Amino acid sequence: MASSFPRRSAVKLRILMVCMGNICRSPTAEAVLRHRLLRHGLADRVELDSAGTQAYHIGKSPDERSIAHAARRGYDLSNLCARKVTDSDFETFDLILAMDNDNVRELMERCPEELQGRIHRFMDFAPEGLPQAVPDPYYGGAAGFERVLDLIEVTCDGLIARLYPIEPGEHGVAGSGEDSPIID
């Protein structure tokens, strides 16, 4: 996995969230990040999507448990629809954020070598001390879905802070200093 972000000249950054089936973790991450970006006044700077490495649930809505747990925290997953990562996604998206190492590995195997720097673990943007992966809650109970939301919320905040840092002495929301994200 590459250690730096690719450079992009366009102002709008394209981010793809990826898990295995695109019905639990990645649509949750998409919805949480969209909500957080909107709250910070940055929604117009980022295009978001989510996809799965497997084709198990193509065309289906997110898992009902994901929808319900997210809704309790104010996130709307109801309009999302599962899809599989396509070859064109590697070219289209500036950041491809995988929920665990298995998904990173699968994406790296499929991605052209010159674009592999776009693939990162989602949890690389989390504060230190948290797990390296967002655990799959699919076969578990309510606590698993809550844990996923906890991890995704804190990591989305870290991602926004990394992409749109507040300059020293600035007041207000992240991203108020520059038109383009910091991608180095």
- Catalytic residue set: 19, 25, 136
Distance linking the first and last C-alpha atoms of the chain: 15
Nearest Cα residue to 138 out of 10, 15, 59, 27: 27
Q: What dihedral do alpha carbons 51, 87, 135, 161 form, nearest 10°? A: -80
**How many CB atoms sit inside 10 A of residue 139's CB?**
6
List, in sequence order, every beta strand (DSSP E) within the chain. 13-19, 46-52, 95-98, 119-121
DSSP summary character for residue 67 = H
Q: Report d(CA 24, CA 28) in Å as an integer.
A: 6
Q: Is 129 left (phi over 0), alpha (psi -120 to 50) or beta?
A: left
Q: What dihedral do alpha carbons 135, 156, 37, 67 form, nearest 10°? A: 20
